[in-house]
Amino acid sequence: MTGHTMLLVFEVTILVLAIFLGFEVISKVPTLLHTPLMSGTNAIHGIVVVGAMIVLASGHKGPFTWIIGFLAVVLGSANVVGGFVVTDRMLEMFKKREPAKPKDEEQK
């Protein structure tokens, strides 16, 4: 196998493992938290900004790549920052009843 093929096989392997991991992790999330879940995963795919940075960094090879890379960095960072901030605002609000009435059942 050439180096390129080996790399590809490795990449496909982790891709498939990530699929199962994604299913596994999510199946334990209660409906109560489905909105923050969606918003939180939304923030995680903001990792696209890393790809955008790589493209922009190679942008000295031509103005087209530079412009496209720059735009991608702008969009990607909006995704990351906005995603995490929105999710944090949502999760901040989920509180248990304040200590006044302690008899509520635990939701574990």
Partner 1 sequence: MSENLSDLLYLISIVTFILALRFLSNPAHARRGNQIGAAGMLVAIVVTWVKAGTTSWWAIVIGMLIGGGFGAIAARKVKMTAMPQMVALFNGVGGGAAALIALAELHKIAIHHWTVLGGGRPTVDISVAIALSGLIGAVSFAGSMIAFAKLQELIGGRPITYPGQNIGNLVLLAGLIGFAVALSAGVHDQWIIWIVVGGGALFGILFVLPIGGADMPVVISLLNAFTGLAVAIGGFELQNNVLIVAGMLVGASGTLLTLMMGKAMNRSLGNLLFSAFGQVTAEAAAVAAGEGGGTVRSASAEDVAVMLAYAHKVVFVPGYGLAVAQAQHDVRQLADMLEAKGVEVTYAIHPVAGRMPGHMNVLLAEANVPYTQLKEMDEANPEFSRTDVAVVVGANDVVNPDARTNQGSPIYGMPILDVDNAQTVVVLKRSMNPGFAGIENPLFYNPKTVMLFGDAKESIMKLTAAVKTL
Q: Does 63 bind partner 1 (CB under 8 A)?
A: no
Q: Which of 1, 3, 6, 68 is the binder for partner 1 (CB under 8 A)? A: 68
Rounded Cα–Cα distance for residues 17 and 24 (Å): 11
Q: How far is CA 21 from CA 5, 15, 80, in A?
A: 24, 10, 22
- To partner 1, the closest distance from the beta carbon of 70 in angstroms equals 5
Q: Does 71 bind partner 1 (CB under 8 A)?
A: yes
Structure tokens of 85?
């901030």
- C-beta of 1 vs 4, nearer to partner 1: 4
- To partner 1, the closest distance from the beta carbon of 1 in angstroms equals 13
- 32-61 footprint of partner 1 as x/- string (CB under 8 A): xxxxxxxxxxxxxxxxxxxxxxxxxxxxxx
What is the size of the binding site for partner 1 (CB under 8 A)? 88
Rounded Cα–Cα distance for residues 61 and 73 (Å): 17
Q: Which of residues 79-98 bind partner 1 (CB under 8 A)?
A: 79-98
- Comparing CA positions, the residue from 57, 35, 36, 47 lying closest to residue 81 is 47
Yes or no: say if 56 and 66 are a contact pair by the CB < 8 Å rule.
yes
Q: Does 6 bind partner 1 (CB under 8 A)?
A: no
